[in-house]
Amino acid sequence: MKIAVLVKQVPGSESVLPILNDETWVDESLVSFIMNPPDNFAIEEALLIKEKAGEGEVVIVSMGPDRVKKTIKEGLAKGADRAIHLEEDGQIETDPLSISKSFSTVLKEENFDLIFTGLQSDDTGMGQTGVLLGEMLGYSTATLAMETDVQSDSIRVKRELESGWFQWVKLPMPASISIQSGLNTPRYPSLKGIMGAKRKEIKSIPVSEHRVGSKMQTIEKVFIPQTSKQTEMIEGDADSVATRIVEILKTDLKVL
Amino acid sequence: MDILVVLEDNRGSLHRMSKEAIVGAQQLGGSISALAIGDNADALASELSGFDLEEVITVKHDLVSSYNADGYAMVVQKVFESESPKTILAGHTYQTRDFMPRVSAKIDAPFIPDIISIDDGLTKQILNAKLNATVSSSNEQMILSFQSAAFSEESIKPGFCSSRSFDVSLDSSQVRAESEDPFQEAAGGVDLESADLIVSIGRGIEKEENISLAFDLAEALGAEVSASRPVVDSGWVEPFRQVGSSGQNVSPKLYFALGISGAIQHVVGMKGSKNIIAINKDPDAPIFEIADYAVVGDVLEIVPKLIEKLQS
Amino acid sequence: MIPSVTFTIVEKVILAGLTLAALGSFSYEVLRRVAIVNKGLGSFPFDRFLERLWRVFREVLLHEKVIRERPFPGLMHALVFWGFLVFGLVTIDHFATGFYKPILSESLHHAYSKVVIPFAIFVIFGIVSLAYRRFITQPKALGKISPTSGLVAVFIVVLMGTYIYGETGLSPLVWKVNWWIHSALILAFLFLIPRSKHLHLVLGPFNIFFRSFEHPDHTPVHIDLEGDEDDLDVMLNDLTKLTKKQALDIFSCVECGRCTDVCPANRGGGILDPKYHFIMDLREPLLEGKDVAILDQINVEAGWECTACQACTEVCPVGNHVEKSDEIRRLEVLVEGRVPQEYQKVFTNLQETGNTEGASSSPFADSFPVFTADKEYVLWLGCFARHGLDPNFNKSVENFTKILDVAGVTYGVLAEEQCSGDPANRLGDKLTYTMLREHNMEQLIETKKVVTLCPHCAVNLGKEYGKYDAINYTVEHHTQVIGRLIEEGRIKVKMGETGKVTYHDPCNLSRMLDVVDEPRTAIQAASSDFQEMDESGRDTLCCGAGGALWWKKETKGRTHLVRAEQVIESGADTVVTGCNFCFGMMKQGLGPMTPEGREEVIVKDVADIVAENLV
């Protein structure tokens, strides 16, 4: 049972996000980074499956500059067996197709039974890499897994649908699954795990060796959203206030 | 064809977000067609007969009688190859997230998801909505999905639209998933962090016996109930409903704050809410600084009226 | 008066046999436990020898603590104890009579009995009162009904009775039967003592002698990330082992339940019951396993509820260091990797940004002058103030610097101040604690004096850091500085319109740093209407934020509200406190607890009430 977990290092939720002068991205030298929070659930699910099976290996896979090794080591400290690091050389990758193509050429020979990703990354939030990769490798795919049930050559996944609905889907392995947050309780790395992580293999491969074609999707500009926080004061007696609120709910917010 | 809008079947009728996607398509301009897949394709097509579209393409096949990623991705690919639209569009639903990346990889065109506006280029939120980004595609063809309520279905341009069926041949070996019927989960564990709609109770509710008002409102809205710390501390609701620095962090589409003052320990847990309606007796309550809609009034008077109107 | 009685050889043989058996059983059981205690880590302390002896004198002979904490039962117990002491000579003489002949001459015996008989009556009175309390009143803290206690009560009453009876004029036969009953009971007692909580008779004085002078007193956890993996294995394994003192604690426990009575988590409705979770539940595993590696058997859920306030340790009459949340949490974090999610976030924030909130900067800290070597004090802000965990407290910090400015005291903040590490330390993440501590020690290399408003920071910088490396600076709490400035006349404070004022002692400040008077000096300089609230000074009831519980998400218990309730009951208009966490907890807790129609109690820091009334 070989499980790859795609992990991303992203800016922390409380980090400053100073925009570069050319407005193409944030100034990463001032940003504090963490593991993409949804990825924790993916790692935990992979570890639980491996522990239940009693055998297998969990491999952390990540793309990014050198600083990403810190996040990779966190995954190793939690119990993953080894890691593959696609090392970026200064050009920040944001195009999911391009990223997935690089991943697919590297992961093809590994023949993973399962590829797990978090539901999306807290930086660009494209939410596609796992499914793109699945398609490129010819794997079956599913997203937003709230529960997994691995059987001998297939995996049952409880997909989350909108509005409180769910659906069980059975897929043959190999499969690429995106894991919904909250399906398990991620562990904290033990001290032994942290020490042991230092000796686990991290295979570094320059992205440039695997870049296929050029990126098609570009972030032209990043900017602070215009929070025109115009607070609308609703006045009048209780009845007219209530009427106006129903209108807002129906028309403006479309929640009815 | 310039734009192909992939429609979603919401238990027999057209998903609201598909309609919104059509509005977005109409604003982008060009010749627009829609694609309806599955057993209900004809019903979906007839819902669009009065709107300004070229046509609705319907695809019916055993292997896509209901949704599955393999089947839908293949159908879209085949339609794409036949009709060559420049842009494929859809609402950014769970379903779109599930199969549209497959299409993207199959046709080698970028998928730009969860767009909130097209006024100034394609705009999407990044970094937990702290910043926005303008995204572009260097490829002629692209796939786009729109965030809920980025467009208003009221703005759909009326007109006339026909439908035609499109034949696909699909191999059963290519459709690998075995799906069971969807089901609803009994409301046991309340996951506030992923709730779309929240009604939140503060000390302005005044007494324990008034708590049921908030629950009734929540039920009428299909919302979850949360509360500020003092309400939890008084024992009026269960601790897991607490929102704030020592409670849950929520970012729903709508946060309905009833009698909440807006103390910083509470705000910290809900400032990510997309829309905030606040009712409070105190005109200086800090909650009004972050509210989108503010009512200086008595929760106990307004909420019952609101429930009445919602139930009618 | 003893009739002339002789004991036959047979009787002497029987007596010898029984005595040997009883002594043998007693010794075996005691030595068995001592052997287990000896397996514990570390060694027993003998430093400050005379101070330790003096403490034993006061707490054992004078029963100071026992009486102070529960006056009436305490006094009753004291009567029994003093009677026990007085009976020492009687018992020796009693057995000597059986084996050979009495030690005391008739006149001495008679004279001594005039002392002993009243004591015997006191003892009977004492033990009957205590038995009534235990079996009829049944206070909750004493826990389940204890049959051995009943037996012991009966034994003691009969022992006293047989003694008194023996001093009346009896026929030889009756006297001898009475004598044998008395002896049998004493021997039975010997049999019973080591197998029950009455072992405290033997171990108590030693345990009190060996008690540390400060608490908490947990073994430091040295982590060397560059070290050997085998060394790490040994270290992690050692984390499950009791120290010698901890093992002795478990055998000395008298099951009185005072620790549970004062526990804020327990009082708030949590499941934590220090008597059982930290002591009693470990006794059986200790005896059965005959090994000290049992710390991993502490109830985990209870362990996470503890506020680490040390009230339990402070109150224990037999010198136990009751609290063991440090031990179980460090096992969960370092060995098991099982950490509640909200604490994982705190650890990650500390590792990534050096503060509990994950913030990249602190505009508040930037508003203060930077420390340079020519300034007197490093003003240590702490995460709470730096990152506005309660923005109202920032005003209190500014009030303190205002006081310093008026007094002409120079100070500056450290540019690279990181969290003192208290949350990591108390939550068991000794690794993150090591990282923070090493960083801060480097920032403090040139520092001589530190002043801080946060008692948690003060405890770590001033005491905990010193358990790992020598420290070259002194640490003062801001109330100590304020108190001193008032006494030295460097600031003048006038009595103001303060209304009725009370003071809530922060647990880290009063129990761990022993700072109780200075805040009161400061408050009473500004207020003429000061009154103590319940459980004040070193007996203070923790506000509920200790042990890093400030960051705990699911609050099932009402720990943080219990103290707020007491504040309201005191009738004060203002509650002053000396800790940012207490400040924040009071602000959160007073609102819900204020009854209808009453004004909410105002919360102030010592710095506030003084700054407001500076002349």
Asked if residue C369 has pLDDT above 80, the reply is: yes
CA distance linking residue A63 with residue A95, whole number of Å: 12
**Any idea which residue has 């003691």 for tokens?**
C156
Cβ separation B246–C551 shorter than 8 A: yes
Q: What is the mean pLDDT of residues B47-75?
A: 95
pLDDT at position A11, please?
Answer: 93
Look at residues C311, C338, C365 and tell me which one is the last residue of a structural domain.
Answer: C338
Same domain, yes or no: C278 and C412 = no
CA–CA–CA angle C172, C173, C177 (5° rounding): 115
Output the DSSP codes for B188-209.
-S--GGG-SEEEEE-GGG-SGG
Q: Are the C-beta atoms of C453 and C397 separated by less than 8 Å?
A: yes
CA distance linking residue C542 with residue C272, whole number of Å: 15
How far is CA C165 from its chain centroid? Answer: 43
pLDDT tens digits, one per residue of C506-519: 999 999 999 999 99
Of A79-83, C316-320, C591-595, minimum mean pLDDT range: C591-595
Look at residues B114, B148, B174 and tell me which one is the last residue of a structural domain.
Answer: B174
Same domain, yes or no: B296 and B198 = yes
* Nearest in space to C545 (alpha carbons), one of C561, C568, C566, C567: C561
Same domain, yes or no: C428 and C516 = no
Helix/strand/coil percent split, chain C, to 5: 60, 5, 35
| φ, ψ of residue C614 in degrees (nearest 5) | -70, 140
pLDDT band at A163 (very low <50, low <70, confident <90, very high): low
Q: What is the mean pLDDT of residues C444-451?
A: 96
pLDDT at position A181, please?
Answer: 87
pLDDT at position C556, please?
Answer: 61
pLDDT at position A154, please?
Answer: 96
Cβ separation C589–B264 shorter than 8 A: no
Output the DSSP codes for B120-184.
TBEEEEETTTTEEEEEEESSSSEEEEE-TTSS-GGGPPB---EEEE------GGG---EE---EE
CA distance linking residue A99 with residue A63, whole number of Å: 8
Domain that holds residue B251: 192-311
Sign of the C-alpha dihedral, residues C524, C530, C531, C533?
negative
Kindly list the residues from chain B whose CB atom is less than 8 angstroms away from the CB atom of residue A134.
Answer: 102
Asked if residue C475 has pLDDT above 70, the reply is: yes
Same domain, yes or no: B99 and B220 = no
| Chain A closest-CA separation from residue C322 CA (Å) | 26
**pTM for the whole structure:** 0.89
pLDDT at position C466, please?
Answer: 96
Q: Are the C-beta atoms of A34 and B128 separated by less than 8 Å?
A: no
Answer yes or no: is C346 within a domain.
no
Q: How many CB pairs under 8 A join B and C?
A: 35
pLDDT at position C106, please?
Answer: 84
Asked if residue B188 has pLDDT above 60, the reply is: no
Kindly list the residues from chain B whose CB atom is less than 8 angstroms away from the CB atom of residue C551.
Answer: 246
**Any idea which residue has 């003003």 for tokens?**
C379
Answer yes or no: is C221 within a domain.
no
Written in H, E and C, the secondary structure of C239-288 is CCCCEHHHHHHHHHCCCCCHHHHHCHHHHCCCCCCHHHHHHHHHHHHHHH
CATH no. for residue B149?
3.40.50.620
> Mean pLDDT for chain C?
93
Q: Give burial (CB, 10 Å; 0-12/13-18/19+) of C521.
A: middle
Percent of the residues in chain C that have a pLDDT greater than 70, as a whole number: 99
Q: Are the C-beta atoms of B266 and B260 separated by less than 8 Å?
A: yes
* Nearest in space to B168 (alpha carbons), one of B240, B298, B62, B251: B62
Kindly list the residues from chain A whose CB atom is less than 8 angstroms away from the CB atom of residue C347.
Answer: 188
pLDDT at position C98, please?
Answer: 87
Cβ separation B138–A218 shorter than 8 A: yes
For chain B, the first-to-last Cα distance in angstroms comes to 44
pLDDT at position B86, please?
Answer: 96
CA distance linking residue B66 with residue A159, whole number of Å: 15
Q: What is the mean pLDDT of residues B183-195?
A: 72
Cβ separation C335–A190 shorter than 8 A: yes
Please name the residues in contact with A112: beta carbons below 8 A apart, sequence gap of 6 or more: A2, A3, A4, A59, A174
Q: What is the mean pLDDT of residues B89-95?
A: 94
How far is CA A196 from its chain centroid? Answer: 25
B230 touching chain C per CB within 8 A: yes
Same domain, yes or no: C164 and C305 = no
Q: What is the mean pLDDT of residues A107-126?
A: 95
Same domain, yes or no: B93 and B7 = yes
- One-letter amino acid for residue B55 of the chain: E
**Any idea which residue has 């041949």 for tokens?**
B169
CA distance linking residue C278 with residue C257, whole number of Å: 12
Please name the residues in contact with A180: beta carbons below 8 A apart, sequence gap of 6 or more: A41, A119, A144, A145, A146, A160
CA distance linking residue C120 with residue C110, whole number of Å: 15
Answer yes or no: is B187 within a domain.
no
| φ, ψ of residue B134 in degrees (nearest 5) | -100, 125
CA distance linking residue B247 with residue A123, whole number of Å: 25
CA distance linking residue B44 with residue B49, whole number of Å: 9
pLDDT at position C448, please?
Answer: 96
Taking CA atoms, what residue in C is nearest to A196? C229
* Nearest in space to C220 (alpha carbons), one of C434, C511, C510, C462: C434
* Nearest in space to B283 (alpha carbons), one of B270, B268, B294: B294
Q: What is the mean pLDDT of residues B108-136?
A: 92
Cβ separation A136–B128 shorter than 8 A: no
pLDDT tens digits, one per residue of C84-93: 999 988 999 8
Q: Which residue has the higher pLDDT, A183 or A214?
A: A183
Taking CA atoms, what residue in B is nearest to A174? B176
B242 touching chain C per CB within 8 A: yes
pLDDT at position C594, please?
Answer: 86
pLDDT band at A228 (very low <50, low <70, confident <90, very high): low
C388 touching chain A per CB within 8 A: no
Q: What is the mean pLDDT of residues C173-194?
A: 92
Q: What is the mean pLDDT of residues A145-174?
A: 92
Cβ separation B98–A182 shorter than 8 A: no
pLDDT at position B190, please?
Answer: 72
pLDDT band at A16 (very low <50, low <70, confident <90, very high): confident
What's the ipTM?
A: 0.91
Kindly list the residues from chain A whose CB atom is less than 8 angstroms away from the CB atom of residue C336.
Answer: 190
B232 touching chain C per CB within 8 A: yes
| Chains in contact with C via at least 3 Cβ–Cβ pairs below 8 Å | A, B
Percent of the residues in chain C that have a pLDDT greater than 90, as a whole number: 79
pLDDT tens digits, one per residue of C285-325: 999 988 899 999 999 999 999 999 999 999 999 999 999 99
* Nearest in space to B82 (alpha carbons), one of B51, B111, B59, B65: B59
Cβ separation A14–C338 shorter than 8 A: no
Kindly list the residues from chain C whose CB atom is less than 8 angstroms away from the CB atom of residue A18.
Answer: none
Best of B246, B248, B264, B265 to substitute, by most chain C Cβ atoms within 10 angstroms, is B246
pLDDT band at B149 (very low <50, low <70, confident <90, very high): confident
Cβ separation B102–A134 shorter than 8 A: yes
Q: Is B270 helix (H, G, I), strand (E, B) or coil?
A: coil
Answer yes or no: is B49 within a domain.
yes
Same domain, yes or no: B169 and B207 = no
pLDDT at position B263, please?
Answer: 84
pLDDT at position A62, please?
Answer: 97
A186 touching chain C per CB within 8 A: yes
DSSP state for residue C145 in the 8-state scheme = -
> Mean pLDDT for chain A?
93
B308 sits in which H/E element = helix B299-311
Pick C358's closest partner by Cβ from A14, A186, A187: A14
Best of C228, C348, C389, C418 to substitute, by most chain A Cβ atoms within 10 angstroms, is C348
pLDDT tens digits, one per residue of C13-46: 999 999 999 999 999 999 999 999 999 999 999 9
Q: Give burial (CB, 10 Å; 0-12/13-18/19+) of C363.
A: exposed
Asked if residue C62 has pLDDT above 90, the reply is: yes
Answer yes or no: is C304 within a domain.
yes
Taking CA atoms, what residue in C is nearest to B237? C556
Q: Does domain A2-209 have CATH number 3.30.110.70?
A: no
Question: What are the counts of helices (DSSP H) followed by strands (DSSP E) for chain C?
Answer: 30, 7
Answer yes or no: is B185 within a domain.
no
Cβ separation A194–C347 shorter than 8 A: no
Q: Is B247 helix (H, G, I), strand (E, B) or coil?
A: coil
CA distance linking residue A156 with residue A176, whole number of Å: 12
Domain that holds residue C256: 229-338
Same domain, yes or no: B124 and B212 = no
pLDDT band at B63 (very low <50, low <70, confident <90, very high): very high
Same domain, yes or no: B45 and B161 = yes
Of A207-221, C110-124, C595-609, minimum mean pLDDT range: A207-221
Taking CA atoms, what residue in B is nearest to A104? B105
Question: What's the number of domains chain B is made of?
Answer: 2
Same domain, yes or no: C525 and C476 = no
B240 touching chain C per CB within 8 A: yes
Q: What is the mean pLDDT of residues C77-106?
A: 89
Encoded tokens for C441:
């020690």
Question: What's the number of domains chain C is made of?
Answer: 4
Same domain, yes or no: B165 and B287 = no
Domain boundaries, chain A: 2-209
pLDDT at position B286, please?
Answer: 87
Encoded tokens for C55:
């403490």
pLDDT at position B76, please?
Answer: 97
CA distance linking residue C236 with residue C248, whole number of Å: 22
Pick C352's closest partner by Cβ from A34, A186, A187: A34
Please name the residues in contact with A55: beta carbons below 8 A apart, sequence gap of 6 or more: A1
Q: What is the mean pLDDT of residues B227-243?
A: 87
DSSP state for residue B65 in the 8-state scheme = S
Look at residues C417, C447, C480 and tell me which one is the last residue of a structural domain.
Answer: C480
Answer yes or no: is C374 within a domain.
yes
Pick A131's closest partner by Cβ from B101, B125, B133: B101
Q: Are the C-beta atoms of B80 and B103 separated by less than 8 Å?
A: yes
B163 touching chain C per CB within 8 A: no
- One-letter amino acid for residue C417 of the chain: E
Same domain, yes or no: B114 and B221 = no
pLDDT tens digits, one per residue of C323-352: 999 999 999 999 999 999 889 999 999 999
A122 touching chain B per CB within 8 A: yes
Residue B18 CA: distances (Å) to CA of A123, B93, B118, B146: 27, 9, 17, 9
pLDDT band at C6 (very low <50, low <70, confident <90, very high): confident
Asked if residue B187 has pLDDT above 60, the reply is: no
Q: What is the mean pLDDT of residues C403-413?
A: 97
Same domain, yes or no: C419 and C472 = yes
